[in-house]
Structure 1
């Protein structure tokens, strides 16, 4: 990619692996067009960390809805019945990750650009199996996992070398924000009540997660 000299897309979750992938690309002088996919629009702690990374990398980060947001809406996850007709009438559907990347390529005149992620084989057995099956380079979708063979020690060394500050997510969840189950809801409710209220405004029945948690304890 460095030899080709073309910009690449980067799926940027604000997590440690996607940060390390961006740093690795930058070390090779590869121009990065990062895009972030939000699960809930307008969460302050997410927006603040995106701004911090834009300042750190001196690069604008494209911010778009995550396919999961569409899936939760069209599946009526934590959605009261009176909202169902509105969602049905909207005609929204869940896009694929490839469709999201293709839309960015079209909007930014980046036809054929590689779409980079921070997936690592060592991250989980499922990811190792997927990497063994499909490999780190998927030419047919122009997707590449550039740090697929890195261990967690490599990630830590990279972040330390570049003096990168992980987002507040790692203090609250131990990872980047990635869902509306109890693991994420309780820390947000405790630490960022305004953001929690915003989640509830989108998914009013989400507080049933706490009820379910109490029943299973």
Structure 2
């Protein structure tokens, strides 16, 4: 397969901007740094799971300053899926949510909407997926390759190992977001391993989560009793 270094060189030579799904996690940070080193113009977009969480908004703004680049902020497809499946919703909200008929866009549809809105037809959409991250990701990389032409999707650091990620962060003095100290990764789900640390470290944001998913408190209560 084509090395990620060669892929980045080809994209830089092409001279067109590249979209980047930016989760604020270590791999998406590494992807951004690698593209910046290669001279690629990065158009980052962040997908939020819960609207208006301060620790996430503050972190996103920090990286806007760090990279001197605005970061588009859009709802994550998972947010729609959670709401439509009535995740942690009380019975009285069910009829309202079902009546709303919320769409459930795919990642590819989100990227296509961004291309259209930004006037960037046909540009590549990058992610920080690495083959070494898990057996499933390695298998996907072997099966589909790092570049999926039909989807215009590219895994821009696909062959990097964790040491390469750490080296890039260190080389550019790029810090990880604060939640890495809370649960070792960026916010990525609505279960106890994320909810309880947020409850402890960012109570206002925890309340914001409960505004959207009122019964999420039961997840913390249930796991707290089992501990």
Measured against the shorter chain, the TM-score band is over 0.9
206, 213, 216: which one aligns with 2:223: 213
- For the pair 1:10 / 2:20, whether they are aligned, the reply is yes
Structure 1: distance between partners of 2:169 and 2:199 = 29
Q: Deviating runs (4+, > 2 A) in structure 1?
A: 214-217
- For the pair 1:35 / 2:50, whether they are aligned, the reply is no
Q: Alignment partner of 2:218: what SS?
A: helix
Q: Alignment partner of 1:64: what SS?
A: strand
Structure 2: distance between partners of 1:24 and 1:146 = 8
Structure 2: distance between partners of 1:147 and 1:22 = 9
Q: Match for residue 149 of structure 2?
A: 139
Q: Alignment partner of 1:147: what SS?
A: coil
- The RMSD of aligned alpha carbons is 0.8
Q: Match for residue 114 of structure 1?
A: 124
Q: Measure how far apart 1:89 and its partner are.
A: 1.2
- For the pair 1:175 / 2:192, whether they are aligned, the reply is no
Q: Measure how far apart 1:125 and its partner are.
A: 1.2
Structure 1: distance between partners of 2:50 and 2:180 = 18
- For the pair 1:93 / 2:103, whether they are aligned, the reply is yes
Q: TM-score, normalised by structure 2?
A: 0.94
Structure 1: distance between partners of 2:129 and 2:169 = 16
Q: TM-score, normalised by structure 1?
A: 0.98
Structure 1: distance between partners of 2:48 and 2:197 = 18
Number of residue pairs aligned between Structure 1 and Structure 2: 217
Equivalence map 1:54-203=2 (5 Å)? 54-203=64-213
- For the pair 1:49 / 2:66, whether they are aligned, the reply is no
Q: Match for residue 6 of structure 2?
A: none
Q: Alignment partner of 1:2: what SS?
A: helix
Q: Alignment partner of 1:60: what SS?
A: coil
Q: Measure how far apart 1:213 and its partner are.
A: 1.2
Deviations 1:8-33 (A, max 9, x none): 10000000000000011001111010
Q: Measure how far apart 1:216 and its partner are.
A: 4.1
Q: Alignment partner of 2:86: what SS?
A: coil
- For the pair 1:204 / 2:214, whether they are aligned, the reply is yes
Structure 1: distance between partners of 2:176 and 2:76 = 21
Deviations 1:172-208 (A, max 9, x none): 1100001110010011000100000000000000011
Question: Where does structure 1 lack aligned partners over 5 or more consecutive residues?
Answer: none
